[in-house]
Amino acid sequence: MGTTIKATPEIFGHAENNFFNASSGWKSWAFTLDHKRIGIMYLIGVTTALFLAGVFALVLRSHLWIANSEMLTPAMYNQMFTLHGAVMVFAFIIPSIPAALGNMVLPMMLGAKDVAFPRLNLMSFYLWVIGTGCLLYAILAGYGLDTGWTFYTPYSIETESGVIYATAGAFVLGFSSIFTGINFLVTVNTMRLPGQGWFKLPLFIWSLYATAIIQILATPVLGITLLLLISERLMSIGIFDPRYGGDPVLFQHFFWFYSHPAVYIMILPAMGVISELIAVYSQKRIFGYSFIAFSSVAIALLGFLVWGHHLFTSGQSLVVTLIFSAITFSVAIPSAVKVFNWLATMYKGSILLATPMCYALSFIFLFGIGGLTGLFLGALSTDIHLHDTYFVVAHFHFVMVGGTLTALLGGLFHWWPKMFGRMYNDMLGRVGCFLVFTGFNLTFFPQFVMGSRGMPRRYATYDPEYQIFHQWSTIGAFLLGIGILLAFAVLVYAAFKGPKVGGNPFKAASLEWQSSSPPDFHNFLHKPVMTDPYDFDAMVYDEDLDTYIHREFADPAKVPPRVEPIHH
Partner 1 sequence: MMPQIPMLLAQIDEKVRELTSANAHDTPVPDEAMVHEGSYWFPRVASSYASDVDFLFMAIFWISAVFFAIIVGVMIYFCIRYRRIGGKIEPQPSASHNTTIEILWSVLPSILLVWIFYVGAVGFFEMRISPEDAEDIQVTARKWNWSFTYPDGDISSELHLVRDKPARLVMRSDDVLHSMYIPAFRQKMDVVPGRYTYAFLMPILDGKFRLACTEYCGEEHSKMRTMCQVHISEKDRKENTQWITADHKPWENGERLYKINCSGCHKVDGTPATGPALNTIWGEPENLIGKAPRLVDHNYVRESILYPDRDIVEGYGPVSKMNSFQGKISDKDIDYLITYMQYLKTGEVVELKDENATDAAAPPAEEPAQAPAEAGTGENN
Q: Which of residues 74-103 bind partner 1 (CB under 8 A)?
A: 74-75, 78
How far is residue 286's CA from residue 96's CA, in Å, rounded to a whole number? 25
Q: Which is nearer to partner 1, 53 or 386 (CB)?
A: 386
Q: Which is nearer to partner 1, 246 or 498 (CB)?
A: 246
Nearest-approach distance from CB 565 to partner 1, in angstroms: 9
Supply angle C-alpha 484, 489, 495, rounded to 5: 130
Q: Among residues 463, 270, 432, which one has the least CA distance to residue 355?
A: 432
Q: Please give the residues from 332 up to 391 whose contact with partner 1 meets the rule CB under 8 A.
A: 332-333, 336-337, 339-341, 343-344, 346-353, 361, 364-365, 368-369, 372-373, 375-376, 378-385, 387-389
How far is residue 535's CA from residue 39's CA, in Å, rounded to a whole number? 27
How far is residue 151's CA from residue 286's CA, in Å, rounded to a whole number? 42
Nearest-approach distance from CB 241 to partner 1, in angstroms: 9
Contact between 62 and 54 under an 8 Å Cβ cutoff? The reply is no
**Identity of the residue numbered 422:** R
How far is residue 203's CA from residue 208's CA, in Å, rounded to a whole number? 9
Residue 67 is a binding residue for partner 1 (CB under 8 A): yes
Compute the half-sphere exposure of residue 104: CA atoms within 13 Å on the CB side of its CA: 26
Question: φ, ψ for residue 520 (rounded to 5)?
Answer: -65, 160
Q: Which is nearer to partner 1, 31 or 347 (CB)?
A: 347
Q: Which is nearer to partner 1, 160 or 556 (CB)?
A: 160
Question: φ, ψ for residue 194 (rounded to 5)?
Answer: -55, 130
Nearest-approach distance from CB 269 to partner 1, in angstroms: 22
Interface segment toward partner 1; rule CB under 8 A; list 49-57, 61-69, 414-422, 424-432: 61-69
Say how many C-beta atoms besides its own lie within 10 A of residue 315's C-beta: 8
Paired strand residues for 523: 520
Q: Which is nearer to partner 1, 459 or 493 (CB)?
A: 459
Residue 552 is a binding residue for partner 1 (CB under 8 A): no
Q: How many residues sit in the footprint of partner 1 (CB under 8 A)?
A: 100
Q: Which is nearer to partner 1, 373 or 514 (CB)?
A: 373
Q: Which is nearer to partner 1, 185 or 298 (CB)?
A: 298
Residue in 5, 30, 140, 322 binding partner 1, rule: CB under 8 A: 322
Paired strand residues for 549: 540
Interface segment toward partner 1; rule CB under 8 A; list 21-29, 33-41, 318-326, 514-522: 318-326
Q: Which is nearer to partner 1, 44 or 333 (CB)?
A: 333
User: Is the preceding omega at residue 556 within 30 degrees of 0, hence cis?
Assistant: no
Residue in 242, 522, 527, 555 binding partner 1, rule: CB under 8 A: 242
DSSP 157-186: HH--SSHHHHHHHHHHHHHHHHHHHHHHHH
How far is residue 151's CA from residue 145's CA, in Å, rounded to a whole number? 10
Q: Please give the residues from 512 up to 551 whose contact with partner 1 meets the rule CB under 8 A.
A: 534, 537
Site string for partner 1, 187-226 (x = CB under 8 A): ----------------------------------------
Q: Please give the residues from 116 up to 155 whose contact with partner 1 meets the rule CB under 8 A.
A: 146, 148, 152, 154-155
Burial of 523 (0-12, 13-18, 19+ CB in 10 A): buried
How far is residue 524's CA from residue 507's CA, in Å, rounded to a whole number? 18
Task: Please state whether 528 falls in left (phi above 0), alpha (psi between -120 and 50) or beta.
Answer: beta
Residue in 117, 329, 434, 445 binding partner 1, rule: CB under 8 A: 329
Task: Please state whether 202 falls in left (phi above 0), alpha (psi between -120 and 50) or beta.
Answer: beta
Say how many C-beta atoms besides its own lie within 10 A of residue 237's C-beta: 13
Residue 72 is a binding residue for partner 1 (CB under 8 A): no
Nearest-approach distance from CB 65 to partner 1, in angstroms: 9
How far is residue 97's CA from residue 46's CA, in Å, rounded to a whole number? 10
Interface segment toward partner 1; rule CB under 8 A; list 2-10, 13-21, 215-223, 314-322: 314-322
Interface segment toward partner 1; rule CB under 8 A; list 193-201, 329-337, 412-420, 511-519: 329-337
Interface segment toward partner 1; rule CB under 8 A; list 86-94, 221-229, 239-247, 412-420: 239-247
Residue 321 is a binding residue for partner 1 (CB under 8 A): yes
Interface segment toward partner 1; rule CB under 8 A; list 6-14, 116-124, 200-208, 312-320: 312-320
Site string for partner 1, 466-505 (x = CB under 8 A): -xx--xx---------------------------------
Q: Please give the residues from 434 up to 463 whose contact with partner 1 meets the rule CB under 8 A.
A: 449, 452-454, 456-463
How far is residue 453's CA from residue 102's CA, in Å, rounded to a whole number? 41
Could you tell me the CA-to-CA distances from 543 to 6, 61, 171, 425, 505 in Å, in that order? 14, 52, 52, 22, 12
Q: Which is nearer to partner 1, 183 or 252 (CB)?
A: 252
Q: Which is nearer to partner 1, 120 or 327 (CB)?
A: 327
Q: What is the DSSP letter of 199?
A: G
Q: Which is nearer to partner 1, 30 or 375 (CB)?
A: 375
Residue in 233, 285, 310, 414 binding partner 1, rule: CB under 8 A: 285
Residue 250 is a binding residue for partner 1 (CB under 8 A): no
Q: Which is nearer to partner 1, 96 or 373 (CB)?
A: 373
Q: Which is nearer to partner 1, 107 or 370 (CB)?
A: 370
* DSSP H stretches of helix in 390-532: 390-399, 406-420, 426-452, 467-497
Q: Which is nearer to partner 1, 246 or 402 (CB)?
A: 246
The dihedral sign for the CA sequence 42, 44, 47, 49: negative
Q: Tell me the three state secondary structure of residue 509.
A: coil
